């Protein structure tokens, strides 16, 4: 491929690259704009929870925890003016649940976020809204017509534009609405969206985010009674006034329970002692620690599994009273045919931190525990559960999590050290007597990565090995290519020398041979050849011999000179001139433009062309001075050799082998040769060639710096 | 003769680059200096308003100094791991000082030592750690002896002089203050009323178990004259248990931690009184000590803050409302 076509190919490649990059950027921008408020409601991966037991099923988010201030966050921290809406349902007769906008700095904790929250509060039956900056301030709550009831769906919409937040709530069963507007200056300017509940589990469906418009905000403001700035409840007296119809969360109702029944409440830890007796109905109380696949409760003495209880759905953290038939197990108990009622709400007790050995001992069967282990295999799905195989301290165990669409455990890598929170189970129904115990996780956040696997995993080692092999092959290939190029260069130079010898000495020797042969023939045939004729022929032969000798000397000189691939090119040409002329010809050299380094191949070709030009000039032109010049343009460079010899009539049709050889060499590097000469005015030979496309690498400062230092230390130039 | 002056453009680049880098470095330094110090306030729990007073006072004092505060704590008093994690996070973040209301007298010693090792002054408020304050650590504690004595005084009118039983609920070895209150109250009662039988119940932070425990307490002790509750959860449970047993007004209920909900019960006459902790003053003292410590003019010490007795009669007084306020004491 010629240099020109290579250049065009390169330009075409760059154009395609630029167009591709521009197209990709435009596509991403368009998609980013289109998906600006896109929320994934089919999988939990793009949501982050802070507290709670969150799950997702059929586009509906659930929080099965009554903890204080559970949050599930998503969206972009850059979202500003937006509309965020969802249908919200609470499943407990206390607390509140709702939506968050412009939230930042979230953490576990009741008010541990910086942003806005609006929701529905059950006890007061109000729509509330406020701002938290790790401390809660709220506007005056607005009574929701008909109150707020657990189990009822409410459509909640938040529209935030500038520093005004409009909130509307609609009872989807009755159609009644309530609205308020919060106005705060200055305000939180941007942030994520989220779902939140306080001391109540709940469900959120049809979760949608979109751009917030002034029109939508005005529509809500039209239903609201003015605007308010959120205020903290500053004094106890203000609080008492605020809740003028306040009722304690657990009204002081008279105890309806039968004293006999009360007296027979069993501690969960004592139920195993009933082993061997006929199934007995017992009354127990405890706090819910797990709701699926089975219901587990615990008190301070132990835990128990409750099979298919009759009663309302419960959340983790709720206190329950259960009457059921007890079936003692080895280390805990199971309650069948049970009825359940909720007796209190609250945050779940923190887990007991145990070692795998302690868990395997059975002392923590059916208890909420925290345990650490190293993941031994890739997570997999089995019998409707996502399964984690773990090992630690010589014990192997499993963690199970219900496998539902969109509810995957976050990507976990083999050999990661995990901290798991869940209910410890030793029953063989799940362990299948293959492992001593397993842990039921409540949510995907119950598997926390403490330490990533070491980087020298077999996969990484294989990858590194492959990279090294590829690298070694590349180096080897480059070495072979270099050796090939070296051989080609040597071969090419041999051919050139052979060509030169053929064109000069061989031709001269042939002439000498013909002349001697002619003399011999004349003498042998005893032809009448005059002595003068013989002397003339011998003189001619002698001249040819002298020329051959001169050519041979030049060739020897050329082959013995320093390598053109190193050192100063113009300096070497000047030195060459000095040697050929015995120091009688003046030399000057000059470089113009932004000097750049040349490849070895280019330097070799230029040196040979220059040498040819010098030889020709000295042989035929009798010059007294040479000028060697190198001019660097942006993409091309030109080397010129100018002499003040006798010159000749430069006609392209009459070019000899020397000039043709120069053109041939110049084409090797994508260059051209221009010879300008006229009788009496000297000769100028110019070689124009393209600079390498990889020059930009060579222009890197470090490379440049070394090269410049070398140049600066070079021999001074004579003007 | 001349030598090529090759690196000229590099020198030009360097001339442009050096001031830019210098400006960047100065900006970075300046930005770093402009960031105000942050005091981390870590309460026993963020679920009770008793700690909101501390939060508000910390924010008020910090604002007056041009400092910032960080506020977060566990959702239950027994979530020890949660509190340790918050503490470690703040130590790693390089807080200018930490105010900690510890959830455990022993387990928090190591995190505090870790903070001190990084030259972060730590103020322990309300309950002491099981180690003496020194160097970078100060204790700003509730006057537990005064609390115990006040509780004994409030109990006295309910005693009948025969078969009297008084319960003190919420005692827990992890909270050394609770032991001190119990001891002071016992001593005061035994001194004046040696025949009184004291029933002690350990701390329970889950409402379900607490409800059960207080129902049992009320049922199993018919001679109960008074209940002194040391935490908000058990105060609520005891109030509900007395209400269910129709013993409100017959058995005195004295709380030792305030909460808007609990104070409302005092207003409604469902409780005798609350001996309120002045957490705002504790934090104000702690903030002042941290400020002085950063200036090198304070050493480890113990400061005691007296509690305030809150009854239905004085609850609206400015002094009491100041203690109960969550806005930094500015009425």
Confidence of residue A171 (pLDDT cuts 50, 70, 90): very high
| Cβ within 8 Å of residue A547, ≥6 positions away | A508
Q: ipTM for the complex?
A: 0.71
Compute φ and ψ for A523, nearest 5 degrees: -65, -45
Please give the structure tokens belonging to residue B204: 């329970």
Q: Do A235 and B326 touch (CB under 8 A)?
A: yes
Closest Cα in chain A to B81: A350
Helix (H, G, I), strand (E, B) or coil at B59: helix
Pair type for strands A96-104 and A114-121: antiparallel
Radius of gyration of the CA atoms of chain A, in A: 47
Q: Which residues pair with A636 in a beta bridge?
A: A690
Please give the structure tokens belonging to residue A244: 């003028």
Chain B residues touching A289 at Cβ < 8 A: none
Pair type for strands A636-643 and A586-593: unpaired
Assess whether pLDDT exceeds 90 at residue B179.
yes
Q: Nearest-5° angle of CA A517, CA A520, CA A526?
A: 140
Helix (H, G, I), strand (E, B) or coil at A463: helix
Q: What is the dihedral of CA A226, A232, A233, A238, to 10 degrees?
A: -60
Half-sphere exposure of B43 (CA within 13 A, CB side): 28
Distance of CA A175 to the CA centre of its chain: 48
Most B CBs within 10 Å: which of A132, A198, A233, A236, as the mutation test of the B interface?
A236
Confidence of residue A161 (pLDDT cuts 50, 70, 90): very high
Nearest to A152 by CA among A200, A101, A116: A200
Rounded (10°) angle between helices B8-34 and A701-712: 140
Q: For A283-314, b where at least 16 C-beta lie within 10 A, e where not — what string?
A: bbbbbbbbbeebbbbbbeebbbbbeebebeeb
pLDDT given for residue B149 in this prediction: 96
In this structure, are residues B224 and A363 in contact, taking their beta carbons and an 8 Å threshold?
no
Q: Do A350 and B78 touch (CB under 8 A)?
A: yes
DSSP letters spanning A308-330: S-BSS---BT-EEEEEEEEEE-S
Closest Cα in chain B to A107: B72
Assess whether pLDDT exceeds 50 at residue A472.
yes
Spatial distance between the Cα atoms of B166 and B148, rounded to a whole number of angstroms: 13
Q: Do B75 and A110 touch (CB under 8 A)?
A: yes
Q: Do B244 and A704 touch (CB under 8 A)?
A: no
pLDDT given for residue B15 in this prediction: 57
Confidence of residue B100 (pLDDT cuts 50, 70, 90): very high
Confidence of residue A247 (pLDDT cuts 50, 70, 90): very low
Closest Cα in chain B to A349: B206
Assess whether pLDDT exceeds 70 at residue B131.
yes
Confidence of residue A705 (pLDDT cuts 50, 70, 90): low
Confidence of residue A111 (pLDDT cuts 50, 70, 90): confident
Average model confidence (pLDDT) across chain A: 83
pLDDT digits (tens, 9 = 90+) for B273-287: 999 999 999 999 999
- Pick from A35-44, A49-58, B72-81, B102-111 the range whose average pLDDT is largest: B102-111
Mean pLDDT calculated for residue range A681-686: 91
> pLDDT: is A276 or B13 the higher one?
A276
pLDDT digits (tens, 9 = 90+) for A301-345: 899 999 989 988 888 888 888 999 988 888 888 999 899 988 777
| Cβ within 8 Å of residue A422, ≥6 positions away | A290, A368, A369, A399, A439, A440, A441, A442, A446
- Out of A68-72, A123-127, A455-459, A669-673, which region has the weakest mean confidence (pLDDT)? A455-459
Percent of chain B whose predicted confidence (pLDDT) is above 90: 56
pLDDT given for residue A261 in this prediction: 47
**Single pTM value for the model:** 0.63
pLDDT given for residue A246 in this prediction: 40
Count Cβ atoms within 10 A of the Cβ of residue A54 and give its class: 0-12 exposed, 13-18 middle, 19 or more buried.
buried
SS3 content of chain B, % helix, strand, coil (to 5): 45, 20, 35
pLDDT given for residue A321 in this prediction: 87
- Pick from A80-84, A88-92, A272-276 the range whose average pLDDT is largest: A80-84
Percent of chain A whose predicted confidence (pLDDT) is above 70: 85
pLDDT given for residue B227 in this prediction: 96
Rounded (10°) angle between helices B80-93 and B109-117: 0
Please give the structure tokens belonging to residue A164: 């005004």
Spatial distance between the Cα atoms of A342 and B118, rounded to a whole number of angstroms: 48
Spatial distance between the Cα atoms of A200 and A335, rounded to a whole number of angstroms: 26
Q: For A605-616, b where at least 16 C-beta lie within 10 A, e where not — what string?
A: bbbbbbbbbbbb
Q: How far is A351 from chain B (nearest CA, A)?
A: 9
Nearest to B289 by CA among B125, B105, B131, B142: B125
Chain A residues touching B7 at Cβ < 8 A: 705, 708, 712
Assess whether pLDDT exceeds 70 at residue B331.
no
pLDDT given for residue B238 in this prediction: 94
Q: How far is B220 from chain A (nearest CA, A)?
A: 10
| Cβ within 8 Å of residue A222, ≥6 positions away | none
Spatial distance between the Cα atoms of A100 and B260, rounded to a whole number of angstroms: 25
Q: How far is B73 from chain A (nearest CA, A)?
A: 6
In this structure, are residues A303 and A352 in contact, taking their beta carbons and an 8 Å threshold?
no
Nearest to A172 by CA among A71, A291, A88: A88
> pLDDT: is A554 or A315 the higher one?
A315
> pLDDT: is B101 or A278 the higher one?
B101
- Among A246, A300, A711, beta carbon nearest to B209: A300
In this structure, are residues A163 and A186 in contact, taking their beta carbons and an 8 Å threshold?
yes
Count Cβ atoms within 10 A of the Cβ of residue B134 and give its class: 0-12 exposed, 13-18 middle, 19 or more buried.
exposed
pLDDT given for residue B2 in this prediction: 41
pLDDT given for residue A554 in this prediction: 66
> pLDDT: is B50 or B26 the higher one?
B50
Assess whether pLDDT exceeds 90 at residue A251.
no
Rounded (10°) angle between helices A600-616 and A458-501: 10
Assess whether pLDDT exceeds 90 at residue A160.
yes
Closest Cα in chain A to B205: A349
């Amino acid at each position: 491929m010629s240099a020109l076509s290579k250049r065009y190919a390169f330009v075409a490649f760059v154009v395609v690259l630029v167009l591709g990059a521009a197209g990709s950027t435009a596509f991403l921008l368009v998609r980013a704009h289109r998906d600006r408020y896109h929320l994934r409601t089919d999988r939990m991966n793009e949501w982050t929870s802070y507290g709670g037991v969150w799950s997702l099923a059929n586009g509906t988010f659930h929080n099965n925890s009554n903890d204080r201030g559970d949050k599930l966050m998503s969206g972009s921290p850059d979202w500003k003016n937006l509309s965020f809406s969802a249908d919200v349902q609470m499943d407990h007769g206390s607390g509140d649940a709702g939506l968050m906008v412009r939230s930042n700095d979230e953490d576990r904790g009741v008010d541990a976020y910086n942003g806005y929250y609006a929701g529905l509060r059950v006890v007061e039956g109000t729509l509330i809204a406020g701002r938290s900056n790790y401390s809660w301030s709220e506007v005056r709550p607005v009574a929701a017509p008909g109150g707020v009831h657990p189990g009822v769906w409410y459509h909640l919409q938040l529209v935030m534009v500038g520093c005004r937040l409009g909130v509307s709530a609609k009872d989807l069963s009755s159609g009644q609405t309530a609205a308020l507007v919060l106005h705060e200056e200055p305000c939180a300017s941007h942030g994520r969206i989220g779902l939140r509940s306080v001391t109540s589990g709940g469900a959120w469906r049809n979760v949608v985010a979109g751009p917030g418009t002034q029109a939508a905000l005005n529509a809500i403001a039209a239903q609201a009674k003015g605007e308010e700035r959120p205020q903290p409840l500053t004094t106890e007296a203000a609080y008492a006034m605020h809740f003028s119809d306040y009722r304690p969360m657990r009204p002081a109702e008279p105890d309806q329970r039968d004293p006999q029944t009360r007296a027979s409440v069993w501690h969960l830890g004592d139920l195993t002692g009933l082993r061997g007796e006929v199934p007995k109905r017992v009354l127990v109380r405890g706090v819910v620690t797990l709701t699926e696949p089975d219901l587990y409760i615990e008190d301070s003495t132990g835990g128990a599994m409750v099979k298919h209880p009759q009663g309302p759905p419960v959340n983790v953290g709720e206190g329950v009273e259960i009457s059921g038939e007890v079936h003692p197990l080895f280390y805990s108990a199971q309650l069948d045919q049970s009825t359940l009622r909720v007796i209190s709400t609250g945050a779940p007790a923190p887990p007991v931190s145990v070692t795998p050995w302690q868990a395997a001992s059975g002392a923590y069967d059916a208890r909420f525990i925290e345990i650490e282990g190293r993941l031994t295999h890739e997570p997999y799905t089995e019998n409707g559960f996502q399964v984690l195989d773990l090992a630690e301290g010589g014990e192997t165990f499993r963690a199970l999590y219900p496998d539902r669409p969109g509810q995957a455990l976050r990507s976990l890598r083999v050999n990661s050290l995990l901290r798991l929170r869940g209910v410890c189970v030793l029953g063989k129904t799940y362990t299948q007597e293959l492992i001593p115990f397993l842990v039921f996780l409540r949510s995907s956040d119950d598997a926390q990565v403490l330490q990533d696997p070491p980087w020298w995993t077999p996969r990484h080692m294989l990858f590194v090995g492959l990279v090294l092999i590829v690298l070694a092959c590349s180096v080897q290939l480059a070495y072979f290519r270099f050796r090939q190029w070296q051989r080609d260069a040597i071969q090419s130079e041999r051919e050139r020398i052979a060509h030169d010898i053929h064109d000069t000495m061989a031709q001269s020797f042939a002439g000498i041979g013909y002349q001697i042969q002619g003399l011999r023939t004349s003498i042998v045939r005893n032809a009448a050849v005059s002595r003068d004729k013989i002397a003339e022929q011998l003189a001619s032969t002698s001249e040819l011999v002298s020329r051959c000798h001169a050519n041979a000397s030049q060739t020897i000189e050329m082959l013995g000179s320093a390598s053109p691939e190193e050192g100063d090119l113009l300096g070497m040409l000047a030195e060459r001139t000095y040697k050929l002329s015995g120091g009688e010809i003046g030399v000057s050299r000059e470089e113009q433009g932004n000097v750049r380094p040349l490849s070895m191949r280019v330097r070799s070709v230029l040196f040979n062309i220059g040498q040819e030009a010098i030889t020709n000039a000295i042989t035929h032109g009798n010059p007294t001075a040479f000028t060697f010049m190198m001019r660097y343009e942006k993409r091309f460079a030109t080397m010129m050799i100018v002499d003040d010899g006798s010159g000749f009539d430069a006609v392209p049709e009459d070019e000899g082998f020397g000039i043709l050889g120069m053109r041939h060499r110049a084409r090797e590097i994508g260059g051209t040769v221009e010879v300008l000469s006229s009788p009496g005015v000297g000769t100028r030979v110019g070689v124009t060639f393209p600079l390498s496309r990889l020059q930009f690498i060579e222009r890197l400062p470090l490379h440049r710096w070394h090269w410049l230092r070398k140049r600066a230390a070079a021999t001074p130039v004579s003007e | 003769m001349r030598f090529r002056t090759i690196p000229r453009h590099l020198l030009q680049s360097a001339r442009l680059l050096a001031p830019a880098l210098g400006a960047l470095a100065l900006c970075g330094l300046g930005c770093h200096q402009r960031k105000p110090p942050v005091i981390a306030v870590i309460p026993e729990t963020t679920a009770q308003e008793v700690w909101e007073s501390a939060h508000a006072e910390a924010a008020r004092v910090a604002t007056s100094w041009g400092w910032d505060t960080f506020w977060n704590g566990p959702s239950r008093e027994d979530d020890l791991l949660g509190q340790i994690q918050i503490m470690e996070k703040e130590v790693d973040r390089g807080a200018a000082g930490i105010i900690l209301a510890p959830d455990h007298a022993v387990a928090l010693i190591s995190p505090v030592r870790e903070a001190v090792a990084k030259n972060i002054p730590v103020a322990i408020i309300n309950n002491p750690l099981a180690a003496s304050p020194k160097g970078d650590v100060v204790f700003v504690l509730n006057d537990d002896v005064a609390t115990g004595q006040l509780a004994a005084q409030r109990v006295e009118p309910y005693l009948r002089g025969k078969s009297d039983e008084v319960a003190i609920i919420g005692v827990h070895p992890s909270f050394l203050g609770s032991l001190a209150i119990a001891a002071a109250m016992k001593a005061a009662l035994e001194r004046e009323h040696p025949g009184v039988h004291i029933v002690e119940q350990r701390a329970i932070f889950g409402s379900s178990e607490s409800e059960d425990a207080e129902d049992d307490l009320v049922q199993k002790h018919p001679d109960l004259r008074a209940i002194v509750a040391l935490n908000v959860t058990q105060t609520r449970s005891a109030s509900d248990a007395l209400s269910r047993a129709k013993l409100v007004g017959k058995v005195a209920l004295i709380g030792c931690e305030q909460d808007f909900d609990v104070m409302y019960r005092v207003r409604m006459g469902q409780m005798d009184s609350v001996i309120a902790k002045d957490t705002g003053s504790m934090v104000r003292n702690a903030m002042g000590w941290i400020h002085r410590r950063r200036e090198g003019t304070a050493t480890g010490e113990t400061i005691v803050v007296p509690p305030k007795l809150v009854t239905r009669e004085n609850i609206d007084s400015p002094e009491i409302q100041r203690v109960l306020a969550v806005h930094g004491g500015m009425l």
